[in-house]
Chains A and B, each alone.
Chain A
């Protein structure tokens, strides 16, 4: 294998790859990056088995071939090289030589046959997905992903795709965020895929990078979901087990509805939560005709009481909610007003934006 590649290009290629490569763990080869030169380009592939990232970059290929070298070392070397064309060459002694001017390096390699194969996929089966829209869906749900690492199925967001719709759902058992958008997808049966938190971060980076005219595409396999954008492909390994039946949790009927101004509500919550219980962050809300009263009892520290004028008509309604859960939702609501739909003291409270029927957030109440 021998190829020549522009330093800046090579460094960008390696930067993402080495962040995916795993530095610890029982398989030493996962610390390596697979370089494969053929047909006038070089593909750079790294994986930690949970996800793999492969990019294809232009290069002058003298001899096609492939090898694997330590991802971090290669990246760190290339980063510090001066501008110019880097020659990368695999020699007969199984050392990989990196040469630019008077700088010469030789790195140990591991047999590429041992490198986990990139999940095979057929480009024709890829279906486009509006990348901006996906980013918005991720942003508006990922806050609700569980932090509990012992429950892997909740440790990610659910992406559900049917022929005409895409949904994303995240929950930690105390709150839930649901978003639905329309589109046209090459999907026969609805597909439910759990994408882990770490993979979501990588997916967001993939979407944010690349040229504007490059379209994000995806396809789901048995064990992986593939996202492709331009020359970069991200393979995310799926999680065993099913996502909880979230539709069951979303209430259908309500006894009352309140409309609150978002900015004012945020400030009131931030003030009142100061004296809320340190663990539960609970604020007691009392809705009455045209107003809501916020109350927090911090025991020995003190007590906070506040009141806001809102749109509400109906019977007096009292509920206890975690203030930070509400603040997380208000941050992504994207409107000056927010609608709270109430049922009874023990049933979930629905939080919605007045102009976005596809966005539903749920917060479980706390016992008063």
Chain B
């Protein structure tokens, strides 16, 4: 588990969090808002660890004392973590009123061994409305010295009543150079790989996984190939591609493929409509992207993007990968 000093980026949030460590006074409700994978949960855990540490070093946890060990192994009695649960026969993950009530009950006890209790609700934007309403009172005036931290990648989905009761700290993608530095020192990557990984993970440390990167690069190549050749390549080629996706273990690949096609379409649209490259993420394959973009009209790009979005939602209802990819191919070919 990381310490506060090891968090990449997030200087604004960290500054505020450090200031409220003892002898400072922390607030009672926090919302850590920001894109997935940028370190909201990691920061929450590191902060909790610094709060509980009995021999803090500067404004950070020591990492070796009893409480630090317990937060690391998930056995600190005063640290409560609530995550969305996947229910049987339910595709959607959510945090229901039952688990919120359980949390409230746990919070109504005095701390077990620390000075205070800390509750972290991960992906709080997945609370349903009943759960959120049940949580309002606790969030407004938690009993004793309790700190509640909500993390959310879609904070706009939280009711205003929850938002108004929390101090919001914004988490942003880590700056490119910091990410590259981190990946090089932490994962021992060479500069080129680190740079590609930093680009592809969009400043989200949690998404930067070198193992996954290999797959991502392959998928990106596949997506690019698809976009470049969708109008001209022989049907057999895409039939084969669709068949590969259909194998059970490739099902996740289908979703990643669709997401990648969508993000490349987005960048093709940016270039086509603005003529600028400022917001292009995949700068390392810029030339290829531009070339692929020339084969499409602006309208065709938007139309295809809409089709991909439709297919992505179909996938969430478990539409067969072979059919999905075949349909995508037909969509791309419909005008030829």
Contact = CB atoms under 8 A, between A and B. Distances in A.
B70 interface: yes
Given A27-B75, A114-B69, A149-B105, A240 B112 contact: no
Interface string B106-121: 1111111100000000
A150 B74 contact: no
Interface of B: 66, 69-70, 73-75, 77, 80-81, 101, 104-113, 143-144
Given A114-B73, A238-B110, 16 more contacts: A26-B74, A26-B80, A27-B77, A49-B109, A113-B66, A114-B75, A116-B77, A116-B113, A150-B104, A223-B110, A224-B110, A238-B109, A239-B109, A240-B110, A240-B144, A241-B108
A239 B112 contact: no
A75 interface: no
A221 to B, nearest CB: 9
Nearest to B77: A116
A202 B112 CA distance: 19
B74 A240 contact: no
Given A113-B66, A113-B69, A114-B69, A237 B74 contact: no
Contact of B70 (A26, A49, A114, A223): A114
Given A26-B80, A26-B81, A114-B70, A237 B109 contact: yes
B143 A241 contact: yes
Interface in A46-65: 49-50
B184 to A, nearest CB: 34
A163 B138 CA distance: 36
11 contacts: A27-B74, A27-B75, A49-B77, A49-B112, A116-B75, A117-B113, A119-B113, A150-B101, A222-B110, A223-B110, A237-B109
A222 B73 CA distance: 26
Nearest to A120: B113
A329 B286 CA distance: 82
A99 interface: no
A152 interface: yes
Interface in A111-127: 111, 113-117, 119
B95 to A, nearest CB: 14
Contacts of A115: 75
A29 interface: yes
A240 B109 contact: yes
A116 B66 contact: no
Interface in A332-360: none
Contacts of A239: 108-110
A96 B73 CA distance: 21
Contacts of B104: 150
Contacts of A27: 74-75, 77
A119 B110 CA distance: 13
A152 B144 contact: no
Given A117-B113, A222-B110, A152 B75 contact: no
A117 B111 CA distance: 13
Contacts of B81: 26
A78 B101 CA distance: 36
A237 B101 CA distance: 19
A222 B81 CA distance: 24
A60 B69 CA distance: 32
Interface in A74-127: 111, 113-117, 119
A82 B263 CA distance: 67
Contact of A237 (B107, B110, B144): B110
Contacts of B77: 27, 49, 116
Nearest to A52: B112
A237 B73 CA distance: 23
Given A116-B75, A241-B143, A152 B105 contact: yes
Contacts of B74: 26-27
B217 to A, nearest CB: 37
A237 B110 CA distance: 7
Contacts of B105: 149, 152
Nearest to A238: B110
A240 B143 contact: yes
Interface in A8-58: 26-27, 29, 49-50
Contacts of B70: 114
Contacts of B75: 27, 29, 114-116
Given A114-B75, A240-B144, A241-B143, A152 B112 contact: no
Nearest to B72: A114
Contacts of A117: 113
Contacts of B80: 26
Nearest to B134: A150
A49 B105 CA distance: 12
A118 to B, nearest CB: 10
Query: Which A-B residue pairs are the 4 nearest by beta carbons?
Result: A240-B143, A152-B108, A114-B75, A223-B110
A15 B96 CA distance: 34
